[in-house]
Amino acid sequence: MLDYDVIVCGAGPSGATTAARAARAGLRVALLEKQVLPRHKPCGGGMPIQVETWLRDWLPETSFKAVVEAQVRQLCHTWNFGEVHWGSVNLPESPRDLSLSMVQRPHFDNALARQAVDCGARLRDGLTVRSIERDARGVTVRASTTGDRRETFTARARWLVGADGANGIAAKAASLRQRRRLAIAMEVELPYDWSLSGGDLRPDVAHLEYGAVRRGYAWIFPKGESLNVGAGVFHPPQGGRGSHRRLREELERAIFGYFDRFALEVDRSALKFYAHPLPLWKGKEPRHSSDGRVLLVGDAAGLVNPFFGDGILHGIKSGIIAADCLAEGCPESYTRRLHGEVAANFNAARWLAAFFYRFPHWSYRHVVQRRDGTHIAARLLAGDLQFSEIVGKFVGYVGQKTVRGAISGLGAPLGLKR
Ligand SMILES: Cc1cc2nc3c(=O)[nH]c(=O)nc-3n(C[C@H](O)[C@H](O)[C@H](O)COP(=O)(O)OP(=O)(O)OC[C@H]3O[C@@H](n4cnc5c(N)ncnc54)[C@H](O)[C@@H]3O)c2cc1C
């Protein structure tokens, strides 16, 4: 039986970061991934440039730059694909240059996993973790390969880090995250030739559409030789097959709306759509097992930003914190340290999201279309500005706009329906 200090289950950004950081600290690490790398992960692949800072310790700058296919500095916002509102990520008075980095997840994740190996982790891909058993001295992990020649693998470790995403098994094995809040998003990657491009489709522009889906948004993210087109909702309908089918149709309609807007010639019947849940932050809760043997990171820990729906940066941050706790031999401090990093900000983001997506048209007119709206959003994404810093001002702003609207006889904006 193989013996490690840490077994990391899942080689997405959270797992690879945990493995690299723990291995760099001198721990014996196994990184297990059920798919063969590089693998597809349903994702827009957009993230704030600050991700690079969080990876800097172990990922060479050149490796990061090699996988970033586009840098976005402008956002093109629409409501129901109508008139365009342009927003700049940076304003002339901005103290520092912000941008959004666009990656293809197969390449990005693969680069992180390979770097974890260079840091000393042992990577096994094509190996699915089937069971995790805890005892007083550690964990026993049983895994097996997929395919015809099924090989089994059993290993022991002092700790297991669950980095196995939204549908993983680690949280269940540790009796954690029993009540989750899931958003749903769908995307498709379209090959695109920029030399034929004109108008508003540009490699430095991302597109966001707010009216086409209920309580969510649709997007186009530019990549090196493709466009990632997607749509997601923060409050998917609860119910049976019928509601899932209707949701799928709604998301597809929003994606097709972009095809029509930009006259993209696509064989729609041949498209491969990828849909996936996003486990949203819903407040403080234990993110490690009571015996300190299992720690959850990234999507497995429910760390998707409830306002934007991004999870890569937070997965990476949680991986670093988890690895540091293990290297210091104090897994019991993990939840507290993680919450210290994200809880106040995400609680405020959740509060703002409840308002924003409940009154999307009002929010589009008064928040997105503000001169500094895009810049503030970019700073929030980057962690340059905290949601918790703007909640108070936002409440005042809504009050001011509402009173003005009522006085000028335009009706109470908060009563506006989509
Ligand atoms: C359509 C869509 C668009 C999105 N767009 C963005 C975006 O633009 N920017 C952003 O920041 N976030 C985005 N997200 C969220 C983002 O994709 C996730 O937050 C992020 O992937 C979380 O990383 P992770 O490492 O925690 O989990 P994952 O990336 O899901 O990695 C988990 C890994 O664990 C493996 N695994 C699962 N079970 C097992 C097992 N039993 N044994 C071994 N391995 C296992 C999986 O194969 C997978 O490779 C989007 C999500 C969706 C669905």
Ligand 1 proximal residues by C-beta, below 6 Å: 9-15, 32-35, 39, 41-47, 128-129, 163-165, 168-169, 185-187, 230, 276, 278, 298-300, 304, 310-312, 315
For ligand 1, what atom is nearest to the CA of residue 230?
1
Is pLDDT of 416 > 60? Answer: no
Write the DSSP symbol of residue 48.
Answer: E
pLDDT, tens digit, 9 for 90 and up, residues 273-312: 999 999 999 999 999 999 999 999 999 999 999 999 999 9
pLDDT, tens digit, 9 for 90 and up, residues 185-194: 999 999 999 9
CA distance 335 to 314: 14
pLDDT at 408: 67
182-279 sits in which CATH class?
Answer: alpha beta
Kindly indicate the confidence band of residue 93, based on its pLDDT and cuts at 50, 70 and 90: confident
The pTM score is 0.95
Please report, as a single letter, which amino acid is at residue 115: Q
Is pLDDT of 249 > 90? Answer: yes
124 CB burial (10 A radius; 0-12, 13-18, 19+): middle
Average pLDDT along the chain: 94
Residue of minimum CA distance from atom 52 in ligand 1? 43
pLDDT at 409: 58
Q: How many CB atoms lie within 10 A of CB 50?
A: 16
- Ligand 1 binding pocket mutation candidate from 297, 312, 314 (most atoms within 8 A of CB): 312
Per-domain boundaries in the chain? 2-68+102-178+281-345, 182-279, 359-415
Q: Are 210 and 219 in contact (CB under 8 A)?
A: no
* CB neighbour burial string for 3-37, b if at least 16 within 10 angstroms, e if fewer: ebbbbbbbbbbbbbbbbbbbbbbebbbbbbbbbeb
pLDDT at 287: 98
pLDDT at 199: 85
CA distance 79 to 411: 20
**Mean pLDDT, to the nearest integer, of 342-370?**
97
Write the DSSP symbol of residue 184.
Answer: E
Please report, as a single letter, which amino acid is at residue 109: D
Task: Please give the share of the chain, as a percent, with pLDDT higher than 90.
Answer: 85
For ligand 1, what atom is nearest to the CA of residue 164?
34
What lies within 8 Å, CB to CB, of 212 at 6+ separation is 80, 81, 218, 231, 253, 254, 257
Q: What is the CATH number of domain 2-68+102-178+281-345?
A: 3.50.50.60
pLDDT at 417: 41
